[in-house]
Amino acid sequence: MTVWIVQALCGPARHCILTAAHEADTPARVEHALRHAVSAALVTRQLNPWCGICGARVEGWVYETGRTPYATMAEAEPALRASEAAQTHTAAILKAQGRAYDAPDQRRN
């Protein structure tokens, strides 16, 4: 088995909107799962239909899938958690500095 990672990226700047990783026999299964999760999150308003950094609308988002060097999720988890923490930290800094589309003084509807 292989751990695949798929990212929903805003089209123009390639900022990551949402990422998923999973053990699967084909990358298409992981991409399908992320597309479904993004659609569901948009419908329930758990996810905004724009990039939180640049404001690119959902209609321009793209999905990219790649093979990780990991064979199992247990093996991949430490690296994935570290990456998630780094991205969360960067997003918080951009928002605090007012440099993100979702920053309180920059937010648009």
Scan for tokens 């589309």, then name that residue: 101
Supply φ then ψ for residue 7, to 5 degrees: -125, 140
Q: Say what the pLDDT of residue 109 is.
A: 47
- Residue 108 placed within a domain: no
pTM of the model: 0.83
Angle, CA of 5, 8 and 10, to the nearest 5°: 140
For residue 103, being part of any structural domain is answered with no
Q: Could you tell me if residue 106 is inside a domain?
A: no
CA angle centred on 7, ends 4 and 9, rounded to 5°: 160
List the one residue out of 14, 15, 13, 18 whose CA is nearest residue 5.
18
Average pLDDT by stretches of 10, the chain with 109 residues: 94 91 91 94 95 93 96 97 94 89 65
Domain around 41: 2-96
**Per the structure, how many domains does the chain have?**
1
- Residue 102 belongs to a domain: no
